[in-house]
Amino acid sequence: MYTILHPPRPVREFHDRIYRGEILRFEGLAQQLELVTFTRHFLEDRFHPHVPIEIHRHLSHEQQVEQFAAATRDYARLDEVKRLWRDLFAAVGLDPAATVRDRLHLRFQPHQSPNAPVVRTRSTATVRFHRDTWGTNLYAQVNWWAPVYAITAGRTMALYPQLWSQPLHNSSPDFDFAHVLEQSRSGVNVSATDGGIPKLLEVVPPGLAIPVTIDPGSVIAFSAAHAHTGVPNHTGLTRISLETRTLFLEDLCAGRGAPDVDGHAPWMAPGLFRRVTDGVKLTELVAVNELEPFVFGEPLRRFAPRRESSGA
């Protein structure tokens, strides 16, 4: 499933491979190992005296929701986390000054008994089947994912590379990202009703799912147009992983990206991103609004850089 690359790679080659549907895997990067080590120390200090991957045994569901959300928020705000991700992007071959990113997410997926009722909250939910592009329509978007502790085929995420070019019936035509943002910012738990991302509206053979089983210290990068899902976790341990999303400014402005086979949402969402080097909002770098109209079947839109948008 993977293309294993030895970095650094030319930025053009990296993104062209992503837009063709390749799933890139990087192993043994010192920068990724440093990120994992720092994250483990953060978690072990945070949940002391408990082992982080066993933390669900010591917290009620309500405590998990609260403490995982707080840990995720505090982690993303750390300057060291931002530096470590920046150094990782540079090691792969990206130019951090020409790259914007989404939030730096520390994800918890606690063990859940197979017969237990599913209570969906943002900080504990198993992410269901989707393409990111169903919601954001950002076809130059690259997704990054890495485990913090060892994972298994039952405690991970899964990709569906065979569905790369296959249109799937989904609810994106009715997905209103503006409404989702409004609800989220007002404190509504959009995960409780599965309203945060569009839904798959057909049955996909489960055998098409390929679990991601990489070692801590490895990281994968793949197009936001790839179908993926969280694997229900019944393994007795909490899955803790890292993820974020990036855009290469040159490609966003030029209208480059992966093919859109089935994304019909009326908005694209560039306002979620900030420059890797200094946190400046994408909307201040490029002449775009937080949300921009999108029409399926039309060529990807082009956008003009704002003046002095390439600073470090």
- DSSP characters over 216-266: BTBEEEEETTS-EEEPP--SSS-EEEEEEEEEEHHHHHHT--S--SS---S
CATH number for 282: 2.60.120.620
Strand 274-275 relative to strand 239-248: parallel, antiparallel, unpaired? unpaired
How confident is the model at residue 96, as a pLDDT?
Answer: 98
Q: What is the mean pLDDT of residues 28-44?
A: 98
Chain CA centroid to CA 30, Å: 22
How confident is the model at residue 188, as a pLDDT?
Answer: 73
The pair of structure tokens assigned to 244 is 């974020």
The pair of structure tokens assigned to 262 is 């089935």
- Looking at per-residue pLDDT, the higher value among 252 and 190 belongs to 252
| Domain enclosing residue 36, as ranges | 2-293
* pTM of model > 0.85: yes
The pair of structure tokens assigned to 248 is 């290469």
How confident is the model at residue 192, as a pLDDT?
Answer: 47
Judge whether 48 lies within some domain: yes
Judge whether 246 lies within some domain: yes
The pair of structure tokens assigned to 49 is 């005296």
Domain count, the chain: 1
How confident is the model at residue 194, as a pLDDT?
Answer: 59
Judge whether 224 lies within some domain: yes
Judge whether 191 lies within some domain: yes
Q: Is the pLDDT of residue 26 over 50?
A: yes
CA dist 88 and 101 (Å) reads: 13
